Amino acid sequence: MDVKKSEVLQGTLDLMILKTLEALGPLHGFGIARRIEQVSRDVLQLNEGTVYTSLLRLQQQGWITAEWGTSENNRKAKFYSITKRGQKQLELETKNWERISGVIGRVLRLEAERES
């Protein structure tokens, strides 16, 4: 049976990329995408275009930097790193995500509370 892959909202992907870079250090775009897919246990399927669009946006915000390097298979690749501004943004976005997801959780439990 095929499990349908979830699409990721833009802001959520930015948050996951920042967290991945904070946790693992510098990575190239393909490595970031694969790591997020692994952590999601393949629930998320990220196409490289989406990831690179997000990386460009994060770079323009000053939340990540990019430097050319050599990948594990000896190819030239851009490696991305989180900046101090990015770490502050990650902290802010994490708090916001926790607050919003808590609200959504409470709303989804409304029916169950009414039946109790």
Tens-digit pLDDT profile for residues 66-99: 999 998 899 999 999 999 999 999 999 999 999 9
Could you give the 3-state DSSP secondary structure of residue 6?
Answer: strand
pLDDT value at position 41? 93
Q: Is the pLDDT of residue 25 over 50?
A: yes
CB 81 within 8 A of CB 25: yes
Provide the CATH number for the domain around residue 38. Answer: 1.10.10.10
Q: How far is CA 111 from the centre of its chain?
A: 31
Q: Is residue 1 part of a domain?
A: no
Q: pTM of the prediction?
A: 0.84
Structure tokens at 79: 């490696």
Please tell me the total count of domains within the chain: 1
Q: Is residue 3 part of a domain?
A: no
pLDDT confidence band for 45 (50 / 70 / 90): confident
